[in-house]
Amino acid sequence: MIPPQEASARRREIEDKLKQEEETLSFIRDSLEKSDQLTKNMVSILSSFESRLMKLENSIIPVHKQTENLQRLQENVEKTLSCLDHVISYYHVASDTEKIIREGPAGRLEEYLGSMAKIQKAVEYFQDNSPDSPELNKVKLLFERGKESLESEFRSLMTRHSKVVSPVLILDLISGEDELEAQEEVPLEHLPEGVLQDVTRISRWLVEYGRNQDFMNVYYQIRSSQLDRSIKGLKEHFRKSSSSSGVPYSPAIPNKRKDTPTKKPIKRPGTIRKAQNLLKQYSQHGLDGKKGGSNLIPLEGRDDTLDVETDAYIHCVSAFVKLAQSEYQLLMDVIPEHHQKKTFDSLIQDALDGLMLEGENIVSAARKAIIRHDFSAVLTVFPILRHLKQTKPEFDQVLQGTAASTKNKLPGLITSMETVGAKALEDFADNIKNDPDKEYNMPKDGTVHELTSNAILFLQQLLDFQETAGAMLASQETSSSATSYSSEFSKRLLSTYICKVLGNLQLNLLSKSKVYEDPALSAIFLHNNYNYILKALEKSELIQLVAVTQKTAERSYREHIEQQIQTYQRSWLKVTDYIAEKNLPVFQPGVKLRDKERQMIKERFKGFNDGLEELCKIQKAWAIPDMEQRDKIRQAQKNIVRETYGAFLHRYGSVPFTKNPEKYIKYRVEQVGDMIDRLFDTSA
């Protein structure tokens, strides 16, 4: 059992705890009551606030709506006022801009274009809103006047600032291509930078706002004139320079022009002048021919007019390409893209037509020269044609996008030149073959005929124009291979042609040689001509070109030369036959000669003496220009005659066949040799 004291204590403890719990419960109840009261109060406040808020909203919303309407009205009023100001401004545009338009755009283009923009907007406004308004007519007239002033300013700027390109600058521009070392680019400013900007601004305005393309006609007419005048100026420069100094002036680098001007020789096309130089070269080696019969006009003695004209034309062609390229660059800045090709086509027509016309004149002159058999004049076609074909890729690039008729002009000229060139080659070969035998025109001394020298000199010109001449010949071929001929095919054609000319020349020379009554002089004539041909072939590249189709040509000429020498040597048989051993009388030493034998010996001496004197007198007037051949022929003949005469003199010189031996023994062996040494020497 629990003691009473513990139970009592425990009861008190429980009672205390219970009391505490009751107190806590009572606190909680009080708190809940307070919370409920606060909640009721809050709900009451919120309800009151909601009620007041609704009352406030009902009062404010009408005010807000009214204010919003007022603001909208205010904005509408402001916009209306702004529109009114804007509209009213259109009515003042004419008066505000009239002075500027009247004074024109010169020197104030930016301001002028600004005024034109205002006028244009005014026109658009009145057209849309008041098409019957008198103001519309007023601003329209002002706009048209302004547009005309811009067109006039465009023309004025182009006219005043478009300058002809000087020949010196053009030559520098062209020569820059040929320099091995890098040169500074030649500046070519057609219009000052500021002017170019103004012209470009005006052109863009006229296209975009002015709806006008007439200025493009103005542009191409002015630029076309300058291009044409620039090229004509270059041609005139060549003529004047050739008549004064002979060399057109062209400094190598433009920026040195003021300090160190130099005279720069222009590259010659290598036509007649080179032929004359070659002729002089052969003359120094004893190969020159004298004036002989030929219906071919000689290549030597011509003036430099053809060379100057050829040089001028070649440089004008190159100048056209460079200037046209430069013109297109300028045009790209000024003319709208979709009008550039057409405008450029019109711009270059005058200059291009001038070049083509001059080219056709050259072709026409060449045709007339062929009729006159003046083939040296035809040679001018070769360097021009070569240059045209070399320049054609650049031409094609420059003319890209132009009309077909424009593009076809150069190919048409090239075809004409190839045709006339081929005709010249054909006629030249025929004339070599058919050159008439005119006795009074044959060289009296049997030297080189002018036909030979002219033929060789003409052929030598083809060395500088092998591809060009080959292309001429190929252009006349009817075979399918001719349409796509190779350089090798062209070379073989040219070789065949040269061999044909040489063959015709050989046949003609054989015919001409028959004019001489003396077979020995005929042989000397053929020898001189064959030797001239061979030496000329060897001293140039003609021999290699001939060898393409005729491997034995050189050997054949040497055989012909040797054959003529042998023919010539037979002319001495009538001299040496008198003293030849087979024709001498046989007698016994120490036995007195009979009268018949003495007479025979006298006749042999007399026949030899007379024959020697006659031949030496005749052949002294003959000529062998080649010193080497002359000495060779002399020496060979001298050896034969001296040997025969020496043997004869040794046998009969001491024989008492006459009382006056000096009458018959007129020459010693050495004297005979000296006489033969003076053959073919008109100066001796």
Give pLDDT tens digits for 489-535: 888 999 999 999 999 999 999 999 999 999 999 999 999 999 999 99
Judged against a pLDDT cut of 80, whether residue 75 lies above it is answered with no
What's the confidence (pLDDT) of residue 585? 63
Comparing 376 with 674, the larger pLDDT belongs to: 674
The token duo for 465 is 């124009």
- Range name among 27-31, 135-139, 295-299, 528-532 with the lowest pLDDT average: 295-299
What's the confidence (pLDDT) of residue 449? 93
* CA distance readout (Å), 151 to 122, 328, 448, 479: 21, 22, 73, 59
How far apart, in whole angstroms, are the C-alpha atoms of residue 40 and residue 321?
Answer: 106
Indicate left, alpha or beta for 569 from its phi (over 0: left) and psi (-120 to 50: alpha).
Answer: alpha
Nearest to 170 by CA among 316, 334, 24, 54: 316
Mean pLDDT of the chain, nearest integer: 82
- Asked if residues 445 and 682 have their Cβ atoms less than 8 Å apart, the reply is yes
Q: pTM here? A: 0.73
Judged against a pLDDT cut of 90, whether residue 379 lies above it is answered with no
What's the confidence (pLDDT) of residue 1? 65
- Range name among 353-362, 644-653, 666-675 with the lowest pLDDT average: 644-653
Give pLDDT tens digits for 22-55: 889 989 988 998 888 889 888 889 888 888 888 8
Structural Rg of the chain based on CA atoms? 56
Amino acid at 658: T
Which whole number is the average pLDDT over 288-292?
A: 47
Q: Percent of the chain, pLDDT > 90?
A: 42
- Asked if residues 327 and 227 have their Cβ atoms less than 8 Å apart, the reply is yes
- Asked if residues 387 and 317 have their Cβ atoms less than 8 Å apart, the reply is yes
Cα–chain center distance at 127: 58
Place of tokens 């403890």: 13
Residue 333: how many other CB atoms lie within 10 Å:
12
